[in-house]
Amino acid sequence: MKIVNLFITLFLISGNSVSTEYLFSNHAPVHASIQDSVIASPDVISSELEAKYPGFVHKDRVALFTNTYEVYYWNTGEFYYTQFVITKNQRVVFDSKKAGLRIQGGFNSTKEKGLWVQALVQNSKPTFKFELADNRPELATLVIEEIDNILRVTVNDNVAVEFEDIDHDGSLELISYPFLGEMPLGPAEVSVYEWKKEQYVPNLLQTQQYWENELSLREQRFKDTPNENSLDSLLSAYLLLDRMTECINRFPIYYEWANQTVDQEGYVSVYKQLINDKAYAHTEGWMKKAQPLRKQKT
């Protein structure tokens, strides 16, 4: 290459001109490495990265702020994927294998067929949520966030994670629960979390307010569409707020909304009996017992 450069320089000094296209037309192109996003085209970077590990299966592309993120997936198991790599503007910024993550299997975390990762802005940070099969039949979630321009694992725990604007301030909060709810009266214990001292910890006041809001919403839902499911949802909110005495006192109006009476063997009477018998799954004082979310599984 130095000889070629010297040849061009001498040629130009002599007063002649030359086409670089002619000089290099007979030379094979040199592909840049995966990290060399300035020289290599996106297609070259993509194809080289796909071949980085065996079993490439899928790629996501999302835009957050002014940056383009891509998630590459590989699979050697029975689920959607067993490892992944995240790039930012065509540069690798996170590799699950190099990060030491052992994934038995991952699911599609969205309702869209073409997008497997849930990507969003949360607390002004690019955030990526992956739903895992590692704790089946219960839940497992991996959350990766960009903190100080570095992608870091902020949640790696056997829990479900969702993001909601619970206080309607335009910013999403992280909510989590350790198990799915079941009927009758086996509600998911949803807590609101905040990022504090490098981990997500329960926020008791926000959790209490979350369930106060849920109680109002669920009571209105039962009034509008009375059925067994909406009643179970409503009574579960009372249960999680530890307000069962108030709940029992509300049953006359619930009978009325459901167009049922006390002497009927309808679902309202069935649930009233369950409550009287305390036949429900509930941990008293559960809000105060909620644990910080783990960043690394033991």
Q: Write the pLDDT tens digit of every residue in 134-149.
A: 988 889 999 999 999 9
Residue 28 has pLDDT above 50, yes or no: no
Residues 6+ apart with CB under 8 A from 126: 64, 65, 67, 69, 119, 145, 146
Q: What is the pTM of this model?
A: 0.82
H or E, element range at 121: strand 118-122
Q: Report the distance separating Cα 38 and Cα 86, nearest Å.
A: 18
- Distance (Å, rounded) from C-alpha 81 to C-alpha 50? 13
Secondary structure letter of residue 106 according to DSSP: B
pLDDT in tens, 45-62: 788 999 999 999 999 999
Q: How confident is the model at residue 40 (pLDDT cuts 50, 70, 90)?
A: low
Gap between the terminal Cα atoms of the chain: 53
Residue 27 has pLDDT above 50, yes or no: no
Residue 8: DSSP 8-state: H
